[in-house]
Amino acid sequence: MIDDIAQLVELQGDMVKSGKQECKDWHLTHENCFGCPYELGCSKTVSIGLTILASTGFTGDKIMETIDQLLAAKSHQKLKAIHIPEMF
């Protein structure tokens, strides 16, 4: 499922390199993902995955609205401002 979400994110213009060689190379010289050129795309992928997993409290329309908002976010600040449902 994560690969499908990553493809969706990439179709919207944000690259996702989590787990790929670019990610491994970044972590050779960095402690975390902050500042990585692929950080926003990877963060969107994780956020969408969490939204889908936690969707029990949301209607189908609300899930799609949240996913659309996540895909449209152009910065980490905007991404963080979007409510992602909790799993419990």
Confidence of residue 38 (pLDDT cuts 50, 70, 90): very high
Cα torsion for 17, 76, 43, 45, to the nearest 10°? -100
Supply the DSSP symbol for 82: S
Instruction: State the CB neighbour count (10 A cutoff) for residue 47.
Output: 22
* 49-70 confidence digits (pLDDT tens): 988 887 766 667 888 899 999 9
Specify the pLDDT at position 62.
83
- Structure confidence at residue 34 as a pLDDT band (50, 70, 90): very high
Per-residue pLDDT band for 88 (boundaries 50, 70, 90) equals: low
Distance between CA atoms of residues 66 and 75, nearest Å: 16
* Residue 30 pLDDT: 96
CB count in 10 Å sphere of residue 84: 18
Confidence of residue 83 (pLDDT cuts 50, 70, 90): confident
